[in-house]
């Protein structure tokens, strides 16, 4: 059995790169990469991690895992995009979380000397990158998935931009 007391110790991550986007502030920034269709950005991978990019160029999409560096504190319940009803933080994708970690699936256009050119970016400029994973539809897509409280909003989900809840 895992010692839960030991599991409460801090975990320290070291960024592997920096994400660059046209979004200097959260105002009117897309809140999901599906809402950022056609918006270009780049991901700068630090020199010591560039060898890990080998063969990534064969994938059309990648998953960026990053630190919400502008998020202050967290709330265990919040009103998400599309609703004024509060939900638990683990049932929404808001940046104010106990561990402010975000994920975005972006289109990979090219890799040149440690710079990834990407499209459909919904991330604040200067965001620290923690990891990259290839997007694999046969692993990552579940067409039969149920979306809980989001189900009645399925038609509106693609057009979301940030609002005062992201400040």
CATH number of 14-161: 2.40.30.70
> How confident is the model over 5-37, as pLDDT tens digits?
667 788 899 999 999 999 998 888 887 777 788
pLDDT at 66: 96
Residues, the chain: 167
How crowded is the C-beta side of 116, counted as CA atoms within 13 Å?
A: 35
- Collect all residues with Cβ–Cβ distance below 8 Å to 28 and sequence separation of at least 6: 161, 162
Average pLDDT rounded to a whole number, residues 70-83: 86
Q: Where are the domains of the chain?
A: 14-161
Tell me the whole-structure pTM to 2 decimals.
0.84
Task: For the chain, give the mean pLDDT.
Answer: 87
pLDDT digits (tens, 9 = 90+) for 137-158: 999 887 887 877 767 776 665 5
Closest listed residue to residue 99, CA positions, set 122, 121, 81, 74: 74
């Amino acid at each position: 059995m895992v010692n839960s007391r030991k599991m409460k110790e801090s975990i320290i991550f070291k960024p592997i790169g920096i994400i660059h986007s046209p979004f200097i502030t959260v105002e009117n920034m897309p809140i999901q990469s599906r809402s950022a269709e056609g918006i270009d950005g780049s991901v700068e991978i630090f020199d010591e991690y560039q060898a890990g990019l080998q063969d990534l160029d064969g994938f059309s999409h990648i998953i960026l895992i990053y630190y919400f560096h502008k998020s202050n504190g967290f709330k265990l319940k919040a009103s998400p995009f599309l609703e004024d009803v509060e939900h638990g933080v683990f049932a929404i994708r808001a940046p104010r979380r106990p561990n402010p970690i975000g994920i975005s699936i972006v289109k990979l256009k090219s890799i040149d000397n440690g710079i990834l050119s990407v499209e459909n970016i919904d991330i604040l400029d200067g965001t620290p990158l923690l990891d990259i994973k290839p997007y694999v539809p046969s692993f990552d897509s579940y067409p039969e998935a149920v979306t809980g409280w989001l189900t009645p909003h399925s038609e509106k989900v693609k057009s979301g931009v940030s609002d005062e809840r992201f400040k």
